[in-house]
Each structure stands twice: as C-alpha cells, then as structure tokens.
Amino acid sequence: MGEYSSKIITVQKILIIDDEKNILDSLSSILEDEGFFVIKAEDGKKGLIEYERENPDIVILDVWMPEMDGIEVLRRIKKMNKDAKIIVISGHGNISTAVEAVKKGATDFLEKPLTIEKLLEVIGRCIKDSKDTPNTDQSFKIKSVLTGERTFKQRTIGKSIVLYGHGLHTGVKTGMILFPMPENTGIIFEHVPDGERIPAFVDYVYSVGYASSLKGKNCIVKTIEHLMASFHMFGITNILIKVSEEVPILDGSAIQICEKFREGGITEQNESVEPVTVKEKIVLKNLHPEKWLSIEPYEKLFIDFTIESRPPIYKQNYVFHGGLEEFLKEIAPSRTYGFLSDFELLSKMGLGEGGRINNVILLDGEKVINTKLRYKDEFVRHKILDLLGDLYLLNRPIIGKIVAKNTGHMENIALVKELKRIYGL
C-alpha cells in the first residue's frame, strides 16, 4: 500500500436570515459557488432556530423583517454566543442603524444592494485566517516598501470602534464606525448609505477653509482633520471608516477618538511604509504678508506654530516635538474655536449648525463666553491639531521641521500637494 497524506479542509458555515426570497436565493447561490456551506431562514424566529441547530460560523442578517426585526435577532444571538460573527444588511439603513447594530455586537453593516466584493471582504474579516481573502478597493493602495533608509511598520486598530455625535457644520446627529483593515489598504472612508469609498488622500480633497473634506464620484465626507490627526500620531495606516456626510465633532477635540484607540488597541502589521523625509527646505509662496508656512530637513516631526489675532487670542506660540504622549497630553484635548460673529456668518452659509456649548470654544466681546479653557494657549494648540490631520493626507508620516504663522487648512493642503509633487507620491 502506498503512503499518502491527507488534509482536512474546514468549510465555513453561513446562515442567511432575510425575508426577501430573491436575496436568500441569490446570496446562497453566490456563497455556495465561493465554497461556503449555506443555511437559509426567511424570518427572525426561524433564523434563531437554525442558529441554535447549526451553530454557523457567520450570520448574514437583514434589519427590516416582520414580527421580529434584525436588531432583536442580533441581540438574541449575541446572548446565546457573545462571540458570534454577524453581518447586518439593510435596504433602508443609515448611519444610526449601522451604529446601533455595531454597538449591539454586529461585526459589520452593509447596505443593499450588496456587492459580492464587499460582502466577501467582510466575510474575510470575520474569518480568523483571512489572508487569502481579497481586499476589494483596488483604486488606491499605500506604497509598501521592502528597503529604505527609514521605515515604519504599518498599523491598524485592534478591533472595531464606534463613535457618535453631531456634525460641526451640518448639525446633523451622526456617527462613525472604524474597522481594522489589511496591510496596504490605506485610510478609506465609506459613505453610508451610498457605499461609495473615498481614500483619505490629498488627491480627493474637495474643500478647505473651515474644515477639510473629501469627495468621491458622488459623495462627500466633511470635517476629517481631527480623526486624521489621531491616525497620524498613532501611526494608523490601514483602516475603514463608515460615516455619513460628516465626521462627528464630539467635544471639539481629538481626545475622545484617542481614548477609543487606547481602549481598542493598535495592531502592528508585517508590511512597512516609508515616511516623507524632507530633503530640502520648502517655503509656501504667494501667501498674505502676515502668513508663513515652510518645512525643512529635521530628524523628526517638529512644528513651531504662531498665531496672532484679535482679543482674547492675541499672540500665541507652541512648539510641538512630534511624540504621541505629548500629543495626547498637550494637543489632542484642544478644541475647535471661533468668534460668535463668525458662527453667525457660517450659519447664513449653511455651516456651523453643529456648534454647541459643549463642543466649541465661543469667543465674543474679547472673552470666552461658554467654557473654561483647557490651556491658556488652547487656540494655537488646536491649529497644530488641524495641521497634523491635514499633513496625514499622504497616508504616511512626515519627517521635517514645520514653521507656521497664521495659516489654516488651505495653506496646509497646498503644502501637502507640494510634498506629493516633489517626492512623487
């Protein structure tokens, strides 16, 4: 008798719970073709019975079903098995539905009509060994390096994160869900409910001035700078952010985002990313005489920022040395600020509707009128926070000394575009 070896292949078992027969049939057919064993249930009660009987690896669960909706089914399944992997789907969803589902334990939320590529990507994230599962967004990748004078390990978050609040400029109650992603994915925003993906890269910057925004073919994501600054300082290079039109302003700073990163942990990945190491001095030209922005060679990220404005701001200067701990203690808690007259103007422009007592420092009559400052020079520290966010629109660290005076998002983006041009990114 000849010797032979055998390998046992474990087929992943997927339960689909949906009251639409065409969804059940089409999804099961596609997933069976992909090699999965599929169980179907046409309502929530039958879905719970099948879950107990079959103990599937993954559940695909519709939200809107008669008698027992998907959120209740989700709650009951998680009560049976707190580690259950559940992908919630909906044809009438929004960011509130998505946030509620993830808060209650869903692994992810997808909007109908489903694309098989996104569904397989999410299934791959549910499966522990998902190295062979393709990442579907092929339009943008960060450039990994194998050799170089200086490299940093790519990073993602340790687990999914949910944040909820209001948009500063839209005033709409909104939220966002952050998902870990594989190496070389980059930082990607996904609009809910449209499903369009927009890379957080300078080529996609749509508008600047009061906030930094990104635009894809059909969708816009606004006010990304505090989130991007947090990614920058934690070294996060691969992440998916599901959000509606605007990133929530939270308390006006980045500290709550950072606390979530600390809670969930950061995962170092195998691939590396090369920083932009500035080799020559670059001075932004054609600025107002009272403005200045330059970057020059230095051994680390270093920012020297000065602002001069009307009372109660006067002249403020802060020098940031680029470390995470300094960022968390001295920069991340600094809040968005503005003069009451400016917010009145923004309101007429349809912006600034989310500015509230607890998330914006309001200035009027040469004084702060709604809160106590966290630092006597909180205004210039917040300008550094915004700058750190805009700088990360190259999806990689920047090594150099930046000197800035009275500049904002518009000048920041101009500098980033110049770095992209010079270094061929």
d(Cα 70, Cα 53) in Å, to the nearest integer?
A: 19
Residues near 161 by beta carbon (within 8 Å), at least 6 away in sequence: 177, 178, 260, 261, 264
Catalytic residue among 166, 191, 382, 409: 409
Instruction: List the one residue out of 244, 118, 240 whose CA is nearest residue 193.
Output: 244
Q: Work out the angle between the directed axes of helices 44-54 and 70-80 (0-180°, nearest 10).
A: 20
Question: What is the pairing mode between strands 292-296 and 401-405?
Answer: antiparallel
d(Cα 248, Cα 164) in Å, to the nearest integer?
A: 7
Residues belonging to the chain: 425
Q: Work out the angle between the directed axes of helices 378-391 and 409-423 (0-180°, nearest 10).
A: 30
Question: Cα–Cα distances in Å, from 383 out to 10, 254, 255, 358?
Answer: 53, 12, 15, 19
The encoded tokens of residue 117 equal: 């590529």
d(Cα 87, Cα 94) in Å, to the nearest integer?
A: 15
Residues near 112 by beta carbon (within 8 Å), at least 6 away in sequence: 23, 89, 90, 91
Helix extents (H) in 286-339:
324-326
- C-alpha dihedral, 108 to 202 to 131 to 56, nearest 10°: 10
Q: Is 232 a catalytic residue?
A: no
Neighbours of 421 (CB within 10 A): 9
Q: How crowded is the C-beta side of 247, counted as CA atoms within 13 Å? A: 24
* Cα angle, residue 187 at apex, residues 186 and 189 outer, rounded to 5°: 135
Catalytic residues: 409
